[in-house]
Amino acid sequence: MKASLGNEELLNLPKTAFLCSRRVPASAVLKCYDWANAQREAGRCVIGGFHSQVEKDVLHYLLKGTQPIILALARGLKTRLEPELKTPLEQGRLLIITPFDHSVKWVTAENAAIRNRMMIELADEIVVGYSSPEGQLDMILHYYKERMIVRL
């Protein structure tokens, strides 16, 4: 982790990494939303990139709760925060982290892979909403096959 913004104490909590491919079959989408709501209700700390549409939707559901959230960026720290992130940040329940310095402005497939590996390394549990067969996420998960990976 190269840079952060927010409550770094969240790194000491048990964390569940949520990852999901960009292209997701409709049958998997509702499972992801149900999972997000269950995590919110349980107060579990979730770490995610929240970059794909399903991941953004999962973040939307999580932000409605009061549980801790760690947002992992595949670029340098943001200079402007989305309005929905300001309150959780002020409440001390949000941490934004990145393995990149401020000069990295764009998300690339390579940056996303580095970010995903960082999230997996930090997490106590890995949950995958969906991974496209032979896709980048699937290849990363194969590397971590000795870890407990829950697929929704």
Letter for the amino acid at 11?
L
- Which position has the token pair 């690339």? 108
Q: What is the rounded CA–CA span in Å between residue 47 and residue 132? A: 20
Mean pLDDT to the nearest integer, 2-14 = 96
Q: What percent of the chain has pLDDT over 90?
A: 82
Q: Judge whether residue 149 has pLDDT over 90.
A: no
Question: Average pLDDT, stretch 59-80?
Answer: 95
30's CB contacts (< 8 A; 6+ apart) are none
Number of other CB atoms surrounding residue 86 within 10 Å: 11
- What is the average pLDDT across 127-142? 90
The mean pLDDT of the chain is 94
Domain boundaries, the chain: 3-151
Q: Would you say 27 and 152 are in contact if contact means Cβ atoms under 8 Å apart?
A: no
Residues 87 and 71: their CA atoms lie apart, in Å, by: 14
pTM: 0.94
The helix (run of H) or strand (run of E) holding residue 95 is strand 94-98
**CATH ID of 3-151, from 3.40.50.450, 3.30.479.30, 3.90.650.10, 3.40.50.300:** 3.40.50.450
